[in-house]
Amino acid sequence: MRITLTTAADLAAAVRDIRPDAVAVGIAITPDWCRDQLHALGVSRYEDVDRDMVHAIADRVQ
């Protein structure tokens, strides 16, 4: 399922919705952090991000 993301800030907001506990484990979900995670997963266009990808990025919060 596609979701609409146009910026790193949109991606960060989507990840924060999934992982509101991130701050408690010491991860600041910033647009830059999300952009880095997206590139680490081999994706460069926000248009290619779907719900599974957002969850994959959220799973990287450890």
What total of structural domains would you count in the chain? 1
* 22 falls within a domain: yes
* 1 falls within a domain: no
What the block records as the tokens of 2 is 């596609």
* 2 falls within a domain: no
Please state, in angstroms and rounded to a whole number, the distance separating the CA atoms of residues 61 and 36. 13
What the block records as the tokens of 21 is 């506990």
Percentage of residues in the chain with pLDDT exceeding 70? 97
* 39 falls within a domain: yes
To the nearest whole number, what is the mean pLDDT of the chain?
A: 88
Residue 28 has pLDDT above 60, yes or no: yes
Q: Compute the average pLDDT of residues 37-59.
A: 91
Please state, in angstroms and rounded to a whole number, the distance separating the CA atoms of residues 58 and 62. 9
* 3 falls within a domain: no
| Domain, as residue range, for 28 | 8-58
* 48 falls within a domain: yes
CA-closest candidate to residue 5, choices 42, 43, 60, 40: 43
* 36 falls within a domain: yes
More confident residue, 23 or 19: 19
Kindly report the pTM of this predicted structure. 0.82
